[in-house]
Structure 1
């Protein structure tokens, strides 16, 4: 089972909620959040950690502390002896995936008008043909991009991977001998979201209101 918690930040977290959850983090993570210049970045980063704790609870691990969170060599947040997790945010939305039987990779992207033709070098010939022959090439571009990002985040090595070596075909993503299953979600209008896992599995979607006292 994979648990996906998600939220929308239409406005900043209240001061009480922000401070209440900030002190649950390790000192380096607190400092990282407080260094952001835009409230949107700081609050999205903290929101991801709040979603993470709630997803742990849903997965049956209510007592996990984030005080020991650290970053690996690729900058990915990690915790020892916990279910695998991944966090993503774009625009005003934040999502978190926790799995008690797999390593998930999740990505969300706001669909914005761009000249995606400039990104052809990041896709295989098969992918590029599928995008350009789609009924909505811009939507197809973002769906492929989300799938690649979700796969990369599941792999854990970040953008050190060459995107051209990763190929998306419908619900599968392949790189060398690695294959991941991809599921797409249309939770937020105007956004694309993808989850990459080793195999197809049940997913529970859990919306949260972060200014709610229920999360204290």
Structure 2
């Protein structure tokens, strides 16, 4: 039996929004543009037959998207594609698949307080972070993993991060040395990760 495929597209937020002088959230805009690129890569060219400009994409895609009870986005109607978007630091990322998936990326940052460790991690996980050679990196890995689990379920922050049960399958990855990520699903998947040049996007959609 072939494993379902998940394709993860990543890009630098600044490069993917370089044509915009003012925008309330460049991170959100980058995520939507990576989503459009991913849909094209999955052969969904027909969705964009009347869209030629990058500045038209955000509102167009928003019109295609609905949100679940706790905010998880999904496409209205049935186009046969599931997606999940995340951003942190200088990067955005978007995962597309034929099955539901959960994606999160996290920039390595200083651990703000012991209370944060206690809120997010079990006692055993806290110990591993405290004993790690690079505690911030270890904590970042846990955070990305648990956020991806929550995003797969669609429960958001309504569930405690300490006691999350892992899904059937997950895989950790890194975008660069400073950003950790995790992708998950309810069955084993094949994953491809590609850092996409914004030039390819702007070849398809005029600024």
- Determine which of 126, 135, 138 is the counterpart of 2:124: 126
Q: Matches of residues 32-181 of structure 1 in structure 2 within 5 Å?
A: 39=23, 42-64=25-47, 66=61, 67-79=63-75, 80-82=77-79, 83-100=81-98, 102-119=99-116, 120-166=118-164, 173=166, 179-181=167-169
Q: Structure 1 length as normaliser, TM-score?
A: 0.75
Task: State the 1:88 CA deviation.
Answer: 0.4
CA distance in 1: counterparts of 2:26 and 2:14, whole angstroms: 11
Q: Matches of residues 10-49 of structure 1 in structure 2 within 5 Å?
A: 10=14, 12-15=17-20, 39=23, 42-49=25-32
Task: State the 1:50 CA deviation.
Answer: 1.3
Mapped contact 1:107–1:147 kept (Cα < 8 A)? yes
Gap runs ≥5 in structure 1: 19-37, 168-172, 174-178
- Determine which of 9, 12, 29 is the counterpart of 1:8: 12
CA distance in 2: counterparts of 1:122 and 1:206, whole angstroms: 29
- Residue number in structure 1 paired with 2:203: 214
Task: State the 1:211 CA deviation.
Answer: 5.1
Question: Over the residues paired in the alignment, what is the CA RMSD in angstroms?
Answer: 2.2
Task: State the 1:8 CA deviation.
Answer: 0.2
Counting matched residue pairs gives 183
Mapped contact 1:110–1:192 kept (Cα < 8 A)? yes
Q: Structure 2 length as normaliser, TM-score?
A: 0.78
The one of the two structures with greater contact order (alpha-carbon pairs below 8 A, sep at least 6) is 2
Task: State the 1:116 CA deviation.
Answer: 4.5
- Residue number in structure 1 paired with 2:187: 199
Partner SS, residue 187 of structure 1: strand
CA distance in 2: counterparts of 1:134 and 1:112, whole angstroms: 15
